């Protein structure tokens, strides 16, 4: 939030607060809330795209949900729309699993055993593995994300899940549950991810039992979050590893910058370059319709809207975050 742009927002707020004296005491608070409200109203009526349907439970989610939340690094929370509606975190989970894999194994292991370059291909691409001689992908596509689970501590499925879910809970600052119908639906239709894990195993690029790690990965994708939860979770990345609400350090700042780097190059799959060009914030999408974006040192934002583009990224969430980032002059480039 640069000073010049801030001045413009403050002017808008001065006009707004003439009619609302209660807000006059807190212009910054009012400015951010106005921006979220404006984004909500601007994009509420247009709702293009389609729900994901390759996981049957996702096709049934009401496509009209639209929730926006923003958390500043000083721990203030702003929201608009359906911010308390639970939905499955899906691929956004990958950044939190990557964080734990990094904290447990160190950042170099991720480079050596998974890879960190963008594949430029779809989230569930088998070709990405085949066409790279080193079988190197990245932890934000399905192949690398399932491999990241295989690197986590825990001698069996229960132990692994217990460590991973406790890690997610720390970011959310509350206990998150699993949407069992989504877990079941995805488990019943998981042939493609199983094929990916088997293929990686055949190339010695998978680090444990396929069934165990696939079950944990599928469970992590089925975790229920709200837009507010996601903004709170992502705020740890915005605040360099320290949770803005609990003030506890969850990860090293060195690892945060590496997670943000992979989000920048691969967070929106094959559209990541276009996103960086247009919006300029590290981000991660999920086929459940959520997207998180991080403005380092400033804020995190999360938007939920189930309808996706052909790459698997929520269309309205992209539009809303683009608008909010632009209003807050947040492009890091
Ligand atoms: N659970 C989904 C899968 O493995 C996640 C994909 C996504 O959100 O992009 O296909």
Per-residue pLDDT tens digits for 93-122 = 999 999 999 999 999 999 999 999 999 899
Does residue 71 line the site of ligand 1, with CB under 6 A? no
Backbone angles phi, psi at 132, to 5 degrees: -100, 120
CA-to-CA distance for 34 and 12, rounded, in angstroms?
9
For residue 154, pLDDT over 50 is answered with: yes
State both tokens at 144: 């690398």
CA-to-CA distance for 85 and 228, rounded, in angstroms?
9
β-strand partners of 325:
none
CB 138 within 8 A of CB 115: yes
Note the pLDDT of residue 3.
43
Does residue 144 line the site of ligand 1, with CB under 6 A? no
State both tokens at 253: 């700042």
Note the pLDDT of residue 9.
47
CB 248 within 8 A of CB 290: no
- Pocket-testing residue among 52, 179, 221, ligand 1, by greatest number of atoms within 8 A of Cβ: 221
- Asked if residue 105 belongs to a known ligand binding site, the reply is no
Q: Would you place residue 27 in the very low, low, confident or very high pLDDT band (cuts 50, 70, 90)?
A: low
The single-letter DSSP state of residue 112 is H
**Atom number, ligand 1, closest to the C-alpha of residue 186:** 1
Please tell me the distance between residue 186's alpha carbon and the centre of ligand 1 in angstroms: 9
DSSP string over 11-22: HHHHHHHHS-GG
CA-to-CA distance for 95 and 87, rounded, in angstroms?
17
Does residue 185 line the site of ligand 1, with CB under 6 A? no
Please tell me the distance between residue 226's alpha carbon and the centre of ligand 1 in angstroms: 17
Q: Tell the residue nearest (CA) to atom 6 of ligand 1.
A: 91
Does residue 102 line the site of ligand 1, with CB under 6 A? no
For residue 263, pLDDT over 80 is answered with: yes
- Asked if residue 240 belongs to a known ligand binding site, the reply is no
Domains of the chain: 44-327 (3.40.710.10)
Residue whose C-alpha is closest to residue 111's, from 141, 80, 138, 90: 138
Percent of the chain exceeding pLDDT 90 equals 88
- Asked if residue 71 belongs to a known ligand binding site, the reply is no
Per-residue pLDDT tens digits for 219-253 = 999 999 999 999 999 999 999 999 999 999 999 99
- Which pTM does this prediction carry? 0.92
For residue 29, pLDDT over 80 is answered with: no
CA-to-CA distance for 293 and 322, rounded, in angstroms?
10
CA-to-CA distance for 318 and 313, rounded, in angstroms?
8
For residue 26, pLDDT over 80 is answered with: no
- Asked if residue 287 belongs to a known ligand binding site, the reply is yes
Please tell me the distance between residue 218's alpha carbon and the centre of ligand 1 in angstroms: 8
Note the pLDDT of residue 18.
38
Percent of the chain exceeding pLDDT 70 equals 92
CA-to-CA distance for 9 and 179, rounded, in angstroms?
40
Other beta carbons within 10 angstroms of residue 111's beta carbon come to 14
Does residue 287 line the site of ligand 1, with CB under 6 A? yes
The single-letter DSSP state of residue 288 is T
For residue 318, pLDDT over 70 is answered with: yes
β-strand partners of 67:
81, 304
β-strand partners of 308:
50, 314
Per-residue pLDDT tens digits for 69-92 = 999 999 999 999 999 999 999 999
CA-to-CA distance for 17 and 242, rounded, in angstroms?
33
Mean pLDDT score, 194-211: 97
For residue 25, pLDDT over 80 is answered with: no
Note the pLDDT of residue 23.
35
Mean pLDDT score, 273-287: 97
């Amino acid at each position: 939030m640069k000073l010049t742009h801030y001045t413009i927002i403050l002017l808008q707020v001065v006009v707004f607060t003439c009619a609302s004296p209660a807000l006059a005491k807190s212009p910054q608070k009012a400015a951010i809330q106005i921006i979220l409200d404006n984004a909500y109203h601007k994009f509420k009526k247009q709702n293009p795209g389609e729900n994901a349907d390759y996981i049957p439970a996702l096709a049934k989610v009401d496509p009209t949900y639209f929730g926006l939340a923003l958390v500043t690094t000083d721990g203030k929370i702003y929201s608009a729309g359906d911010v308390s509606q639970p939905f499955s975190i899906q691929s956004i989970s990958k950044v939190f699993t990557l964080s734990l894999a990094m904290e447990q194994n160190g950042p170099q292991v991720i480079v050596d055993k998974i890879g960190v370059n963008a594949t430029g291909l779809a989230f569930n691409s088998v070709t990405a593995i085949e066409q790279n001689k080193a079988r190197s992908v990245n932890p934000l596509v399905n192949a690398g994300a399932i491999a990241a689970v295989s690197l986590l501590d825990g001698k069996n499925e229960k132990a692994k899940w217990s460590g991973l879910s406790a890690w997610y809970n720390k970011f959310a600052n509350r206990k998150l549950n699993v949407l069992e119908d989504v877990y079941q639906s995805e488990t019943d239709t998981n042939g493609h991810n199983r094929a990916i894990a088997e293929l990686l195993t055949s190339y010695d690029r998978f680090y444990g039992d396929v069934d165990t790690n696939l079950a944990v990965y599928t469970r992590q994708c089925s975790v229920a979050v709200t837009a507010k939860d996601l903004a709170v979770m992502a705020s740890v990345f915005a605040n360099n590893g320290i949770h803005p609400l609990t003030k506890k350090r969850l990860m090293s700042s060195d690892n945060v910058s590496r997670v943000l780097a992979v989000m920048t190059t691969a967070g929106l799959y094959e559209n990541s370059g276009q996103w960086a060009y247009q919006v300029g914030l590290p981000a991660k999408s999920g086929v459940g319709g959520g997207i998180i974006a991080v403005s380092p040192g400033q804020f995190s934002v999360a938007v939920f809207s189930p309808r996706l583009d052909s790459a698997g990224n929520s269309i309205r969430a992209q539009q809303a975050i683009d608008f909010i980032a632009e209003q807050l002059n947040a492009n890091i480039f």
